[in-house]
Amino acid sequence: MKINQVVSEFLDSNTFVVEVENKYFIFDCGASVDKVKDIIKDNKVYAIFLTHGHYDHSKYAIEYAKEFDCKIYANISAKETLQDGKKNYGEDFVIKNFQNFVFIENDGVLNFDNIFVQYFSTKGHSKCSCCYLLGDNLFAGDVLFYQGIGRTDLYGGDKKEMLESLKKIEKINFENLYSGHDKSSNRKQQEKNISIFERFLSR
């Protein structure tokens, strides 16, 4: 498995282009289409995944879907966020046509020609926050960072739900964690990070 990190112009958010057995998957859509095309070239993209609906992670979702002829997977609550520039913090950025979207709920697993992607609803930063597990790699969006957690004071954020999500993530069998901003981390680092913020959120 090869994981390519592309940093976007929007709040330095991360887009991850992942190659597994010559199959490509994209996590978040803040980086320009051209940057992503340079990595994928003429290969097939099987799916695009949004970790949540904030503009810096979803700005080019429709362009990606058209360019790579594939579906966008997102938590069902992302629809409300993507339709409203105030809620996704993109001001004039809105998505009104969802024909390329597949909305998912709660937790589950998706099968792409025997490549399995698990998804987990991880509210706290937003109502639509979702983590994805591919192999032993967890793509966590803005729920968890290298040394921190996502803000809970934005629209749809909630400290109690963030605490519940951290406890859920502790039980996920991952070895590497890729965040929506900044650098990646490993399970040992996140065990310490999560423990700190569980205590903080429990006050």
116 pLDDT higher than 90: yes
Report which secondary-structure segment, H or E, holds 120. Answer: strand 115-121
Closest CA to 64 of 82, 53, 85, 49: 49
Please write the tens of the pLDDT for every residue from 125-159: 999 999 999 999 999 999 999 999 999 999 999 99
Please write the tens of the pLDDT for every residue from 55-102: 999 999 999 999 999 999 999 999 999 999 999 999 999 999 999 999
Q: What is the pLDDT of residue 100?
A: 96
What domains can you pick out in the chain, each with its CATH number? 2-201 (3.60.15.10)
Q: What is the pLDDT of residue 203?
A: 82
Q: What is the pLDDT of residue 70?
A: 97
Closest CA to 57 of 135, 112, 131, 149: 131
179 pLDDT higher than 90: yes
Please write the tens of the pLDDT for every residue from 155-178: 999 999 999 999 999 999 999 999
Please write the tens of the pLDDT for every residue from 32-47: 999 999 999 999 999 9
How far is the C-alpha of 166 from the C-alpha of 173, rounded, in Å? 13
* Dihedral, CA of residue 197, residue 186, residue 12 and residue 74, to nearest 10: -80
Kindly state the percentage of the chain with pLDDT values over 90.
98
Q: What is the pLDDT of residue 73?
A: 98
Q: C-alpha distances in angstroms, 79 versus 22, 102, 149, 164, 166?
A: 31, 10, 23, 23, 24
Please write the tens of the pLDDT for every residue from 6-21: 999 999 999 999 999 9
Q: C-alpha distances in angstroms, 50 versus 58, 193, 196?
A: 7, 23, 27
